[in-house]
């Protein structure tokens, strides 16, 4: 699951804009994976948003991942789920979702990253890169130095997350992340499309110049 610009939803940042317009703009700007993550939505609300995102992502030929909720992922035929350390084990998620689905796992250090690879994750989230207002109960900051260390121990795609802006992206990719995952830097931007494009161009440039 080799994404480059992984954009998560976050309705608190929309400033009155509609989910469909915010995500359509992110897709135009070059997001190549969308994650539905809304911690305070009911099952019904997640289902509705999931169907909408499935339509948009399918039209764009982009992956759709659902945070936490394997049932919602199945119901909307998402490409996969993103799990946390306390969620159902990867193998159980695979049994429920069926073959060919993506399972990502949040990790915060080398030990968790190595365990995720052994358990058969398709990619790891790694963070936080910086403190962030979007998730207040984060683990200690891992930072770009943490990416460098984890990169030495796992072959899995690394999706860096947490407080990432355009100013941090080049360094994070140079340290070995495949992708950056963002909420506020894209869905909270005044110009969502331009913000996504800027991040995507940085990732493309840094990955292209990798030795
Ligand atoms: N997991 C670790 S940090 C984070 C998540 C979901 C939030 C990222 O949001 P932002 O606005 O890009 O800092
Ligand atoms: Mg979770």
Whose Cα sits closest to atom 6 in ligand 1? 135
Question: Does residue 211 surpass a pLDDT of 60?
Answer: no
Residue 91 in marked binding region: no
Question: Does residue 77 surpass a pLDDT of 70?
Answer: yes
162 lines ligand 1 (CB under 6 A): yes
> Could you list the residue range(s) of the whole structural domain that residue 172 is in?
5-208
| Average pLDDT of the segment spanning 64-79 | 98
Mean of the per-residue pLDDT values of the chain: 97
The ligand that comes nearest to the alpha carbon of residue 137 is 1
Q: How many domains does the chain have?
A: 1
Q: How far apart are CA 3 and CA 123, in angstroms?
A: 10
| CATH code of residue 203 | 3.20.20.70
The C-alpha angle 142, 146, 150, rounded to 5 degrees, equals 130
Of 146, 162, 185, which is best to mutate to test ligand 1, by the most ligand atoms within 8 angstroms of its C-beta? 162
Question: Does residue 1 surpass a pLDDT of 90?
Answer: no
Tell me the per-residue pLDDT of 145-204, one tens digit each, with 9 for 90 and over: 999 999 999 999 999 999 999 999 999 999 999 999 999 999 999 999 999 999 999 999
CA of 87 to the centre of ligand 2 (A): 7
Question: Does residue 209 surpass a pLDDT of 90?
Answer: no
| Average pLDDT of the segment spanning 75-104 | 97
Task: Show Cβ contacts of residue 59 under 8 Å, excluding neighbours closer than 6 positions.
Answer: none
| CA-atom Rg of the chain in angstroms | 16
Please state, in angstroms and as integers, the Cα–Cα distance from residue 50 to each residue in 8, 46, 53, 57, 195, following that order: 12, 6, 5, 10, 23
Q: What is this structure's pTM?
A: 0.97
The ligand that comes nearest to the alpha carbon of residue 8 is 1
Instruction: Mark 122-135 as b/e (b = at least 16 C-beta within 10 Å).
Output: bbbbbbbbeebebb
Minimum mean pLDDT range among 56-65, 79-88, 135-144: 135-144
| Average pLDDT of the segment spanning 132-145 | 93
Whose Cα sits closest to atom 13 in ligand 1? 163
What confidence score (pLDDT) does residue 139 get?
Answer: 85
């Amino acid at each position: 699951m080799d994404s480059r610009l992984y954009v998560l939803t976050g309705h608190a940042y929309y400033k009155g804009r509609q989910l469909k317009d915010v995500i359509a703009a992110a897709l135009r700007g070059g997001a190549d994976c969308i994650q539905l993550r809304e911690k305070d939505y009911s099952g019904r609300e997640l289902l509705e948003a999931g169907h909408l995102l499935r339509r948009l992502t399918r039209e764009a030929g982009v992956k759709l991942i659902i945070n936490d909720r394997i049932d919602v992922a199945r119901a909307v035929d998402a490409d996969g789920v993103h799990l946390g350390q306390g969620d159902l084990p990867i193998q159980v998620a695979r049994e429920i979702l069926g073959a060919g689905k993506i399972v990502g796992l949040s990790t915060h250090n080398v030990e968790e990253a190595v365990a995720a690879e052994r358990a058969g994750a398709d990619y790891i989230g790694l963070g936080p890169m910086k403190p962030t207002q979007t998730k207040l109960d984060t683990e200690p900051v891992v930072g770009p130095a943490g990416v460098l260390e984890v990169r030495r121990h796992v072959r899995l795609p690394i999706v860096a997350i947490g407080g990432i802006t355009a100013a941090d992206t080049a360094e994070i990719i140079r340290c070995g992340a495949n992708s950056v995952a963002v909420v506020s830097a894209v869905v909270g931007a005044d110009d969502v499309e331009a913000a996504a494009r800027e991040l995507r161009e940085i990732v493309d440039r840094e990955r292209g110049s990798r030795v």
